[in-house]
Structure 1
Amino acid sequence: MFDWLKRGEPAPEPRKGMPSPRLDEAEFKRRYRERFYDPAFDKVAAEVEAVAEIAWQAYAQSRKSPRTRKAGEGYADPDYDLSVEWIAAKEAIHSAQRRHDENGAARRILIVNGSSRSEHTCPGEMSKSYRLAVIAREVFETTPDFEVELLDLARLASEYGRDIHPCKACFSTSAALCHWPCSCYPNHSLGQVQDWMNDIYPMWVAAHGVMIVTPVNWYQVSSPMKLMMDRLVCADGGNPDPTATHGKDAKKAKELELKGWPYPRHLAGRLFSVVVHGDVEGAENTRRAVSDWLKFMHLIPAGPKAELDRYIGYWKPYATSHDELDQDEAVQEEVRNAARTLLTAVLAQRDGKLAAAGQMLSEPRQK
């Protein structure tokens, strides 16, 4: 328990003072109609106006979650109206956890392609990250009793209806305000829908091992990778019961956290591998940042060879970067070795032979 609660002091009031982002009706509808810019919609202009009016009413009334049901047994407030979409996301996570824990089942590997480049959109060419991810996938696919899922984040830029909305940083107000899974989205009143994270959370939960392959973009991971990383904050200390904070009641969340929050690590114990490749600079720092992020969430590094940072076509023209990868058979084999290291660690963990020194020690502090 924190000192000010011991002294009987109330939790701090949430700080306010930023300008309102609310739009008036005319501006809202102007922006909404931009979705129908194609002249093909002109013949249904009246219908578009009718839909715009409905959207305006949802916005004006802040109808974030228009379909709800009572939380029911097992929640702090069984009578609280929970979003049916959030309930479905929670059930998907529970199902994934059951698959993860099932004795005798195949080991599951999640491979993440962190590049946004694809031949199906403006770059006109596949990414080296995708090629390396496929090389890694072949290692697992040729091993009995392994299931592999490839999460291709390039689809954020190339597939209709794929979005990862930005993290709103609820955790920085209070860990208890950051719900697991994230309850910030969908927000129907703001048109923040088609959020991919409700599909991505179960992928991480079901996995026994996670392998991330990402390029360096301006000394950091790619923007799709960062969006996913930020939205996984709820997996590291997030609150599995939104009724305990009555949704997004910041004051209640502060009070709940300061009573003594357990900071549950919902992905703890899973093993990981990280492969980062660059062209000029930043590969080592990016690899370290991704590895540190995973370790902070209590995932376990599979081994030294599972963490790799390399340059492909160092200071060479971008136009020939795939040719450089073709010729760099050493880096291809290093990626295979990273996958083999993760595979070996996952099997050792299954058989109770994985030694992760210090894993069972209690944390002297959480936050």
Structure 2
Amino acid sequence: MAEQTRSDKADIEPRKGMPSPRLGEAEFKQRYRKLFYDPAFEGEAESLGRLAEIAWQAYSEERKSPVTRKAGEGFHDPDYDLSVEWIAAHEAVEAAQRRHEDKAAPSRILIINGSSRSEHTCPGEMSKSFRLVELARDAIAQKPRFSVEVLDLSRLASEYGRKIYPCKACFSTAAALCHWPCSCYPNHSLGQVQDWMNDIYPLWVEAHGVMIVTPVNWYQTSSPIKLMMDRLVCADGGNPDPTLTQGKDAALAKKAELAGWDYPRHLAGRLFSVVVHGDTEGAANVRYALADWLRSMKLDPIGELGELDRYIGYWKPYATSHEELDADKAVQAEVTNAALALAEAVEKRRAREFPAIGAGLEDPRPK
């Protein structure tokens, strides 16, 4: 008898049993109206009541993606109704991949500011991370045929409508349930809109090199970086065809994974640099964690110069931390060197002078 496949033997029925988070009508409408807490809205109470009723109907009917169209050619099920917002995100990622592969185009570097601090909100002062990002950007921008994009995650705290929603861990149910790019958001029925990740995914895809600059927050990386990290799980083995799983059908996704999933590494081969700075403890641990995460997605390190953990104003007053950075010419030079090393590695990689070691070896543990 032929050996059964895992999908023949496995119980793919999703496990259930957690309490429902569903709200009743009164509680839902009360929460909805909190969006209009400002007394300036009181004159529109009747209009708000009508809007609350529309929102309640969308919620009760679970209209996550109210505007769809047929998937069309190139998908497993061309007749499946896909969200037009997901299709737009998918097309943006594909266009970014074409820019990445265009040998005539400039080398693209993405530099990420991981601090949530800025003078445009409660802290009232810019972050040291942003200053280090500017040093890195200025260094690379002076090189010919380089394009530098800065992703400033501090805008999550300071800009209206900027959000990164948490990962729902679809991948842990089955790899194929985690769509690339993420299809969990927007969810209009739950009011989970204006998710920034659909703009962020193409930045990572088009980049030839990625540089992350982040502070240590409570022995860990910053919360904006962690939100982005978790939502990038779909780039590492995620399913680029939601019609294969008929949207979010967990049983179909389990079946697809157990039948043999290839875990596509959508960001493989890009190069990275990591700069972590702190004032007391944890800088090295955060640097290790970020570098390990990037390596796990099959991005490649560039060497010692590209991975930096330093203390700025070690155990000194926070109030003078910028003065400490002003005085620390060595760390400024090290960050500049990390940026220039990343640019040099990108040049060599694109010229086929910096091959990925072991690229032809089979991974016995693909995910």
Judge same fold: TM > 0.5, yes or no: yes
Q: CA deviation at 1:6?
A: 4.9
> Is residue 7–residue 259 contact of structure 2 (8 Å, CA) maintained in 1?
no
Amino acid at match of 1:279: D
Residue 265 of structure 1 corresponds to 265
Tell me the number of residue pairs that the alignment of Structure 1 and Structure 2 aligns: 365
Q: Which segments of 5 or more consecutive residues in structure 1 lack a partner in the other structure?
A: none
The structure 1 segments of at least 4 consecutive aligned residues displaced by more than 2 Å after TM superposition are 3-8
CA deviation string 1:59-114 (max 9, x = no partner) = 00000000000001111111100000000000000000000000121000000000
Residue 166 of structure 2 corresponds to 166
The correspondence of residues 1-367 of structure 1 with structure 2, limited to 5 A, is 5-6=5-6, 8-367=8-367
Q: Distance in 1 between matches of 2:6 and 2:120?
A: 59
**More off after superposition, 354-363 vs 233-242:** 354-363
Q: CA deviation at 1:10?
A: 4.2
> Is residue 11–residue 251 contact of structure 1 (8 Å, CA) maintained in 2?
no
3-state DSSP class of the match of 1:273? strand
Structure 1's 243 and 221: CA in aligned 2 closer, same or farther, altered over 3 A? Answer: same
Q: CA deviation at 1:302?
A: 1.5
- TM score, norm. by length of structure 2: 0.98
Q: CA deviation at 1:12?
A: 2.5
Amino acid at match of 2:109: I
> Is residue 113–residue 152 contact of structure 1 (8 Å, CA) maintained in 2?
yes
Q: CA deviation at 1:250?
A: 0.3
Q: Distance in 1 between matches of 2:13 and 2:274?
A: 41
Q: Distance in 2 between matches of 1:159 and 1:202?
A: 20
Q: Distance in 1 between matches of 2:145 and 2:354?
A: 18
3-state DSSP class of the match of 2:5? helix
**More off after superposition, 151-160 vs 98-107:** 98-107
> Is residue 121–residue 158 contact of structure 1 (8 Å, CA) maintained in 2?
yes
Q: Which segments of 5 or more consecutive residues in structure 2 lack a partner in the other structure?
A: none
Amino acid at match of 1:51: L
Q: Distance in 2 between matches of 1:249 and 1:80?
A: 13
- TM score, norm. by length of structure 1: 0.98
Q: Distance in 2 between matches of 1:83 and 1:7?
A: 29
Amino acid at match of 1:32: Y
CA deviation string 1:306-361 (max 9, x = no partner) = 00000000000100000000000000000011001101100001111003322321
Q: CA deviation at 1:7?
A: 8.3
Identity %: 71
Q: Distance in 2 between matches of 1:355 and 1:193?
A: 41
Q: Distance in 2 between matches of 1:39 and 1:282?
A: 45
Q: CA deviation at 1:365?
A: 1.8
